[in-house]
Homo-oligomer: A and B are copies of this chain.
């Protein structure tokens, strides 16, 4: 019992190949419904190694979430603690959240699948590891803006849900984008325009009017 299965993933080529294959399949299918067989086929790695590296599909999904989102929290901490106005921090934050969904469009569905399909311990873990720090950072920026006299008083929990939902939906609703608006691909330009749009909406609504 020197190390848990989850620990073996780091810098291991077959574990990386499994994570990359899972990420690619979820992006292409716009869905988190991928099987061991799909992942093994795509990665060229024997599906027995999924169990070896990650214990289960849930373990693999959890490792993927950690890989994709885990690293962003150090940046978020740095942002919250930076010498910067709350307005600038909020702009950077919204742009960062949208970049994350642009890169990993399946992220919120992965969170949802892990929280529903597994025991509530996993939902609690995800809330502690991802949701709470994100909401706390947003609350800190909102409070800084109020101390600076530029933001109005706003419920940080409601703000959290509206920000995450608005940022995510363009990447989530690929079918709507394609069939209702004729857009097949989210280009870097569209991603930037959407970030500007969401930032504009959120900033306009929280800034105190002169």
Contact = CB atoms under 8 A, between A and B. Distances in A.
Interface in A116-143: 116-117, 120, 123-124, 126-128, 131-132, 135
Contacts of A132: 180
A192 to B, nearest CB: 11
Nearest to A155: B197
A89 interface: no
B30 A176 contact: no
Contacts of A163: 166
Contacts of A157: 181
A166 B172 contact: no
Contact of A179 (B108, B123, B197, B202): B123
Given A155-B197, A194-B158, A164 B169 contact: yes
24 contacts: A29-B116, A30-B116, A31-B112, A31-B116, A33-B117, A111-B173, A111-B176, A112-B172, A115-B175, A116-B175, A123-B175, A124-B179, A126-B179, A128-B180, A154-B197, A158-B193, A161-B166, A161-B173, A165-B166, A166-B166, A169-B169, A201-B201, A202-B205, A209-B209
> What size tier do the contact residues of chain A reach?
35 or more
A200 interface: yes
Nearest to A29: B116
A200 B205 contact: yes
A179 B116 contact: no
Interface string A51-82: 00000000000000000000000000000000
Interface in A150-197: 154-155, 157-159, 161-170, 172-173, 175-181, 193-194, 197
Interface in A87-121: 108, 111-112, 115-117, 120
Contact of A205 (B29, B128, B204): B204
A198 interface: yes
A198 B127 contact: no
A161 B155 contact: no
